[in-house]
Structure 1
């Protein structure tokens, strides 16, 4: 088995359970690196710390899996981790009002580099490196031994070639008919597990959507920016919102939003769906003196259009400032980011900067992180990536 050594200053960090193998944290010899190979991590004195696998992705070059010297990284190891994760989600499996959730959340459940989502009997694997993909067959077979399933789908999120992009994501079992209708807190959501990298809904926002629907939407006008398939708009309307406007740059957002509304018995003709760059929309909306009771900001970490490039880490304060121009005086702003490298403290600072640019202060009404099925590894702070604030404006 390949042995590598941590740099002295990172010995304790790894001994305390930090799971990510970073090239800058170890004495690294590229000649020992091979995707999927199991390695032993030693401290600078040559004493055992942990075992893991090599798998290059945007976070690092591998993941630590076990801090037990005599534990083998084999089929039984993966089976025990996935079995434990399934048991931890027993409440979700029993909830007939929510039929879509995360079954296995990477390093939060003990194996970084992969996730498994559940959609009403169908399971979707996400593989984030060639390294973890080398264990693909046995992990999929092992899941099928543990659960009753209708079908299995997968998405490779590394080194995608044209052949990968054209290849269907179906693996085994029975094929789903798309759109597949799942439920979240009693609301219907249309998903497609075989149509590109995204499926139609971000499961990590479940608690946020529930709060919007149950506490804040009734009788309100709602602006949903970066709206994707319009799921936030649907939850607002199911909570009694008087009107929604959904804005996204992608042309396909129109028919996808209509689809989400239709399966919930909502008359889309009474709602507004706008295909436009969000920053252009804000500029035009300000000129027309438009405002809303609730404005939702859930942008991607990075976005590029013909006119604008957006980075959550750099531009969120400006986004807040522009959104306030569209928010009524007594209104609410929902500010969200999934940028893992943007710390919560820095995100809050940017929100305050955006309010200050309008001569105001932000008051937190409620805040959210990841829901309970998105388990996190406390030793890796960036795994707890979701940050959401419900905000009121104050002078």
Structure 2
């Protein structure tokens, strides 16, 4: 195993279990190290500090995955990591009411750069950098052995991965200039985006990789979260298919919505909408710019009709295809004291009309102050450090627009 020496004044973070080692903390990095190469970190006296894998000739040189000198990086190493993570989730998250959750969360589970989400009997994973990707075969084998899924699908099409691969590629050509790669990439690239529809096609262009890794994965997977059922599009949905990290927030929402009129902005596939309906909200309007996401949101509402509250309330729910910023602006500028149904909103001469994809039942969905609660879960406005000012402005404007709509 390659040993890298850490400067005496930079050993503190490693001893304190920080999972990243920056290039400036190392006395020297030999040329020709491939991403994913196991490395041992030692102090200037040669004492063991930690071990991890070489990330790239960039700001983050090493990602740490063990502070145990005796651990060997074999397939059993990954089996132990998956077992530990799985046991924690089974103890604290999984239940008869929840079968889907984040199984592997990168550094938190001592597998930096790896994300694995469990959707019922299926797994969706992402390799966020070329280093961890070198261990794809061993990781998949460990997941199959421990979790025994019906299928594993790769969704390594995140923007951060593209950034990491550009840095690694530049480093191979000129390691000396790679420390500046992060800023040069961010400034020269305004953002890399792909539609959900585009994501449906397997891609193996060395940077963005999507496709089946094991077993089979259906077009839609039915999951259970806090007793609610959802269809998840692992193959073409956003991220790994569903925003599992919002589970507790969705549950917390249920305390506030009984008898209330709820607007779910950036609703995606209707997670918050389903929870609101299940908690006896008076009405729920879901707004998103993706037609496919809204159609799946409608299916998710129908999927939960066995719940009494949703049976009662689903006659007053709508799914509206619109740009949320424009939609909120039109609602906020509507004449006060008049009935203002959100389809279409009454703007001041804007004349916009938003497609009403579906209206469950006969209920009229809005009044002069149409909503009591607005859910704002926008996509990231700050894609990199050069966009902080612009992003903060965007967050401020959209929150101000929502506040103007509330009574």
TM-score category (smaller protein):
0.7 to 0.9
In 2: Cα distance, 1:202 partner to 1:67 partner? 31
Where do 4+ consecutive residues of structure 1 move more than 6 Å?
A: none
1:123 partnered with 2:164: no
Q: Quick one: structure 1 residues 278 and 303, their matched pair in 2 at CA, closer, same or farther if it must change by over 3 Å?
A: farther
Matching residue of 1:344: none
Report the CA distance shift for 1:312/1:225 in structure 2 as closer, same or farther (over 3 A).
farther
Distance change in 2, residues 1:260/1:2 (3 Å): same
Change (3 A) 1:74 1:258: same
What does 1:106-121 align with in structure 2 at a 5 Å threshold? 106-121=106-121
Q: Supply the distance in 1 between the matched residues of 2:58 and 2:122 (Cα, whole angstroms).
A: 28
Give the drift of 1:143: 2.1
Q: Select 1:181's aligned residue among 222, 225, 229.
A: 222
CA change 1:166–1:78 in 2 (3 A) is closer
- Report whether the alignment pairs 1:219 with 2:259: yes
Which structure dedicates a bigger proportion of its chain to strand? 1
Of stretches 267-276 and 193-202 in structure 1, the one that deviates more from structure 2 is: 267-276
Deviations 1:129-185 (CA, angstroms, capped at 9, x unpaired): 121111111121122222332222222243499545997622222x23332111111
CA contact (8 A) 1:169 1:193 kept: no
> For residues 237 and 28 of structure 1, what CA distance do their matches in structure 2 show?
58
Label 1:236 to 1:309 Cα distance change in 2 as closer, same or farther (>3 A).
farther
User: Secondary structure of the residue that 2:332 maps to in structure 1?
Assistant: helix
**In the TM superposition, what is the alpha-carbon distance from 1:243 to its structure 2 partner?**
1.1
| Larger Rg over CA atoms | 2
Q: Distance in 2 between matches of 1:77 and 1:207?
A: 31
Specify every segment of 5 or more residues in structure 2 that has no aligned partner in the other structure, as ranges.
166-201, 337-368
Asked if residue 287 in structure 1 is aligned to residue 338 in structure 2, the reply is no
Give the superposition deviation at 1:120.
1.4
Please point out which of 249, 271, 283 is paired with 1:231.
271
Separation in structure 2 between the aligned mates of residue 23 and residue 313 of structure 1, nearest angstrom:
30
CA contact under 8 A between 1:253 and 1:275: conserved in structure 2?
Answer: no
Which whole-Å CA distance do the structure 2 matches of 1:222 and 1:111 have between them?
39
Choose from 233, 236, 248 the match for 1:192: 233
The total of aligned residue pairs comes to: 323
After TM superposition, the structure 1 = structure 2 runs for residues 31-50 of structure 1, keeping only pairs within 5 Å, are: 31-50=31-50
Q: 1:59 to 1:311 in 2, by over 3 A?
A: farther
- Structure 2 match to 1:241: 281
Counterpart in 1 of 2:322? 276
For the residues of structure 1 that align with 2:285 and 2:93, how far apart are their CA atoms?
34
Which residue of structure 2 lines up, in the alignment, with residue 393 of structure 1? none
TM-score norm. by structure 2 comes to 0.71
In angstroms, what is the RMSD of aligned CA positions? 3.1
**Whole-angstrom CA distance in 2 between matches of 1:35 and 1:168:** 20
Task: Check conservation: 1:249, 1:275, Cα contact below 8 A.
Answer: yes
Check 1:303–1:41 CA distance in 2 against 1; reply closer, same or farther (3 A cut). Answer: closer
Q: Which moved more, 1:42-51 or 1:180-189?
A: 42-51
Q: Secondary structure at the match of 2:84?
A: helix
Deviations, residues 302-333 of structure 1 (Å, cap 9, x unaligned): 279xxx999655543333222211223xxxxx
1:246-283 alpha-carbon deviations (Å, 9 max, x no partner): 22223333312222222223686742323222222221
> Are 2:171 and 1:171 equivalent residues in the alignment?
no
Gaps of 5+ in 1: 329-395
Separation (CA, whole Å) in 2 of partners of 1:211 and 1:298: 14
TM-score for both structures, normalised by structure 1: 0.73
Distance 1:59 1:268 in 2: 51
Which residue pairs with 2:22 in the alignment? Answer: 22
Q: Distance in 2 between matches of 1:235 and 1:58?
A: 43
Q: CA deviation at 1:73?
A: 2.2
- Structure 1 residue 240, shift from structure 2 partner: 0.8
Partners of 1:43 and 1:218 lie apart in 2 by 59
Q: Mapping of 1:1-395 within 5 angstroms?
A: 1-27=1-27, 29=29, 31-55=31-55, 60-91=60-91, 95-157=95-157, 158-159=161-162, 163-164=204-205, 169-173=211-215, 175-195=216-236, 197-213=238-254, 215-265=255-305, 270-288=316-334, 289=336, 290-302=369-381, 312-313=391-392, 315-328=394-407
Give the Cα separation in 2 of the matches to 1:122 and 1:138.
18
* Residues 349-380 of structure 1 deviation map (CA, whole Å, 9 limit, x = unaligned): xxxxxxxxxxxxxxxxxxxxxxxxxxxxxxxx
